[in-house]
Amino acid sequence: MKTILIIEDDIVFSRSISNWLVKKGMKTECVATLANARKAIGQKEFDLILADLRLPDGNSTSLLKWMNEKYYSIPFLIMTNYGQVENAVTAMQLGAINYLCKPVQPDNLLALITEILDKNDNEQEFYRGESPKAHEMYRLIEMIACADISVLLRGASGTGKEHIAAEIHARSHRKNKPYLAIDCGAISDELAASEFFGHQKGAFTGAESDKVGLFRAVNGGTLFLDEIGNLSYKTQMLLLRALQEKRCKPVGSTKEYSFDIRLVAATNENLEKAIGEGRFREDLFHRLNEFTLRIPTLAECREDILPLAYFFLKLTCAKAHKSFRGFDRLAEAALLEYPWPGNIRELKNVIGRAVLICQEQWISVSDLNIEISLPKEEETQWTEEEKEKALLLQTLEKTGDNRSKAARLLNVSRTTLYEKLRKYHIID
């Protein structure tokens, strides 16, 4: 059941909207001020926020700014009078999804809420980055999505290449056609033709029924081939011939079928080197590589680390039926300090593990259980106190012992910083 936070100081109107939504199968909570809204958001999970623009203690745009600062990504719907539409547009620039002019028609409100919630449910579990490199990547995705050309995604493991492939499909004119993703490492030489082109019953031992094959199953849509470099040379030749002719023949059949697909491939391997070593066909490389899109590492998108961490925290908490206030300040600093060699996948796994083991309201460094640039010559089992002390010392070194800067970098008050420095006898 979806839960909606209604922020409205007109009690009669608030109750009316609440009762209407409850009758339509939703849960609601009503507050009349921004202060109570912040308190509710900090304590509970909401699927959507419905807020009046002007409230007794301020404008709901200030709540949006606060939510952005705290990394709350909850769909936000504004209600406003006709004379305040300009302010509502400002709210949308801050992240509000849409606005409704009062008097609000219940049927229109329900339709809009349902549309927003359905869209939110259907979105992949992925955060759209706000860092400069992420912005540039999504700009290129928008540009190439409708071009209907083959795209080669290049990037390290765990950077989200499968999500990017799905994004390209979702923004293309093929979006209402099938999308399939296949791990090329799982395709053996013996079964490659059957996987791609299908087979007839009895074509070989174990072929107990007809199989359509990937190319025909995804006809009209997009086929994503992950880790294309793992295909054997023999399978590469089969794939190239089919792509050139745009026709395929199921194993054991004499009939050929035409197909129309868009191909998106991905690799974390140096294919140019593989070509030089004779492991990858150059003609297939050029067929796949009509456009190359490089996926940045998480370390290159440092501005996205904390928003992503909070995004995964919300997702994991919802699945685990747990609730936390967030990461404490040292945990946030550790998340920013860690190099994330496993990229987004590693971050998601770290957050998932922390949610399972954390017993407090705030997730700590010990819950994260990540190694934060400790001296390599002392690769022993560090205690959590030793990790915290190492983080403090490293931060002081980075700031030239400027404690005000260190406190800002660690996102703690100067008082808290001095308490910890004394605790670990860094200062007297």
Instruction: Flag whether 428 is in a domain.
Output: no
DSSP-derived letter for residue 41 is H
pLDDT band at residue 382 under the 50/70/90 scheme: low
When pLDDT is cut at 50, 70 and 90, the band that residue 321 belongs to is confident
What would the pLDDT profile of 112-144 be if each residue is shown by its tens digit?
898 788 766 545 456 778 889 999 999 999 999
DSSP secondary structure of 2-38: -EEEEE-S-HHHHHHHHHHHHHTT-EEEEESSHHHHH
User: What Rg, from alpha-carbon coordinates, does the chain have?
Assistant: 27
110 and 230 co-located in one domain: no
The domain boundary residue, chosen from 231, 264, 294: 294
Contact yes or no for 196/239 (Cβ under 8 A): yes
DSSP 8-state code for residue 77: E
User: Does a structural domain hold residue 138?
Assistant: yes
Task: Tell me what pLDDT residue 93 has.
Answer: 66
Q: Answer yes or no: do 290 and 314 share one domain.
A: no
Residue 406 token pair: 């260190």
Whether 376 has a pLDDT exceeding 60, the answer reads: no
Residue 191 is assigned to a structural domain of this protein: yes
Q: Which domain CATH number covers 139?
A: 3.40.50.300
- Residue 203 and residue 334 in one domain: no
Pair 355, 317 in one domain: yes
Say yes or no: 73 and 136 in one domain: no
Q: Which of residues 72, 95, 122 is at a domain's end?
A: 122
List CB contacts of 36: < 8 A, sequence separation 6 or more: none
Apex 344 CA angle, 151 and 275, nearest 5: 40
Residue 76, Cβ density class (10 Å: 0-12 exposed, 13-18 middle, ≥19 buried): buried
Q: What is the pLDDT of residues 210-264, one digit of tens each?
A: 787 888 888 889 999 999 999 999 999 999 999 999 998 888 888 888 999 999 9
**More confident: 387 or 67:** 67
Shared-domain flag, residues 114 and 197 = no
Number of domains observed in the structure of the chain: 3
Whether 127 is in a domain gets the answer no
Pairwise CA distance, residues 122 & 184, whole Å: 26
Arithmetic mean of pLDDT, 341-362: 92
Residue pair 269/229 in contact (Cβ under 8 Å)? The answer is yes
Q: Provide the 3-class DSSP secondary structure of residue 123.
A: coil
Proportion of the chain above pLDDT 90, given as a percent: 44
Residue 295 is given by DSSP the state P
Distance CA 97, CA 79 (A): 11
Overall size of the chain counted in residues: 428
**411 and 378 belong to one structural domain:** yes
Strands (E), 144-296: 151-154, 179-183, 222-226, 247-248, 257-258, 262-267, 291-294
Same domain, 85 and 198: no
In this structure, the answer to whether residues 189 and 265 fall within a common structural domain is: yes
pTM flag (> 0.85): no
Judged by average pLDDT, the poorest of 25-34, 294-303, 379-388 is 379-388
Residue 155 lies in a domain: yes
DSSP string, 322-370: ----EE-HHHHHHHHHS--TTHHHHHHHHHHHHHHH--SSEE-HHHH--
Residue at 245 is within a domain:
yes
Range of the domain at 186: 132-294
Q: Are residues 137 and 57 in the same domain?
A: no
Q: What is the DSSP string of 255-266?
A: --EE---EEEEE
